[in-house]
Amino acid sequence: MRLSDLPENPTVVVTGGAAGIGLAAAKAFAARGANICIVDLGADRLAAAAADIGGDVMVSETDVSDRTALEALEAAVAARFGGADVVINNAGIQPGSDTLDPTNWQRIMNVNLWGIIHGSQVFAPRMIERRRNGMIINTGSKQGITTPPGDPAYNVAKSGVKTFTEALEHEFRNTAPYLSAHLLIPGFVFTDLTKGERTEKPAGAWTPDQTAAFMMESLDKGDFYILCPDNDVPRALDEKRIHWAAHDIIENRPPLSRWHPDFGEAFAKFLDDET
């Protein structure tokens, strides 16, 4: 499915839509004439985001980890617009985690994985029933592919998003070909989620608007994997990192060998190798 295949003035639902990539994506679709529903927590944040988007924007203060709340949201979208044509499951948190410390694990999984599964499962049935061309776009992460050390709960959740979205696209392809699923894989983006104590965007980071623009270009081409670069990491470097991570299994290396002291030199040589 490509953007050009969508119906005129589609209805687009964006979770995590009050800021960052979600807000930028909502603005990008609104510029193409879409009806917009932004979903987030914080009435003031939602009101400010709606004003930023402009026009008659539907807002919903909904916790994506609450399936019942998402079911109510879906019904409200259907009552107002007839149903969703594009769902961007983008809401996410990153409070940090440790492998053996249970702190934050349940919360991260509930929002970053279950929020996306709930959003897809709740909105897809009516999308299938309506038989209109449509999309579900799920926000993953490079950390869900190369799984670097440091935040295992986030990595596990985003790995699950990748697996779930691949399965969703396979199902649509075989049972509802007028729908498609897509995996958005942002690079380093300067948002409330990533900025920490910083007040100015680092030179290496992209803005949310740049990320949304890249997403729209990729959707114009019908891409499933929307692998975004940033100002520090070009696609070629991402490809090599992903290639190396996959070959940990193929070559029976230690897991996360990219960070293993015995393989640091080999990884550096691999990056320098033109072939």
* Active site residue ranges: 154
**Token output for 268:** 């550096």
Return the SS3 of 78. Answer: helix
| CA count, 13 A, side-chain hemisphere, 222 | 8
Burial 240-256 (b: 16+ CB within 10 A, else e): ebbebbeebeeeebeee
Integer Cα distance of 9 and 1 in angstroms: 16
Q: CA nearest 36: which of 47, 21, 48, 25?
A: 25
Integer Cα distance of 13 and 4 in angstroms: 18
Integer Cα distance of 21 and 82 in angstroms: 26
Integer Cα distance of 194 and 153 in angstroms: 16
Integer Cα distance of 33 and 24 in angstroms: 15
Integer-rounded Cα Rg, in Å, for the chain is: 19
CA angle 106/110/114 to nearest 5° reads 140
**Token output for 272:** 């320098």
Integer Cα distance of 162 and 155 in angstroms: 11
Q: CA nearest 241: which of 222, 227, 262?
A: 227
Cα-based distances in Å from 122 to 22, 23, 75, 78, 188: 19, 22, 10, 12, 30
